[in-house]
Structure 1
Amino acid sequence: MESLDFAAVQCPYCGETIELAVDASAGEQRYIEDCSVCCKPIEVLLFADGGDWRITVARDDD
Structure 2
Amino acid sequence: MNTERIHDTKVHCPHCGHNIHLDIDLSEEHQDFDDECRACGAVIYLRLYRDAGDDRFHLQIRSDDEQYY
TM class by smaller structure: 0.7 to 0.9
Looking at structure 2, the residues matched to 25 and 55 of structure 1 have their Cα atoms a distance apart, in angstroms, of 14
Number of aligned residue pairs: 62
Higher relative contact order (CA 8 A, sep 6+): 1
Please report the TM-score for the alignment, with normalisation by the length of structure 1: 0.87
Q: State whether structure 2 residue 33 is matched by structure 1 residue 24.
A: no
Q: Any unmatched runs of 5+ in structure 1?
A: none
User: What RMSD, in angstroms, separates the aligned Cα atoms of the two structures?
Assistant: 1.6
| Aligned residues of 2:11 and 2:21 also touching (Cα < 8 A) | yes
| Aligned residues of 2:12 and 2:18 also touching (Cα < 8 A) | yes
Amino acid at match of 2:6: L
Three-state SS of the structure 2 residue aligned to 1:46 is strand
Query: Displaced runs of 4+ in structure 1, greater than 4 A?
Result: none
Identical residues among aligned pairs (%): 29
- Describe the shift of the 1:52–1:60 C-alpha distance in structure 2 as closer, same or farther (beyond 3 A): same
Max Rg structure: 2
More strand by share: 1
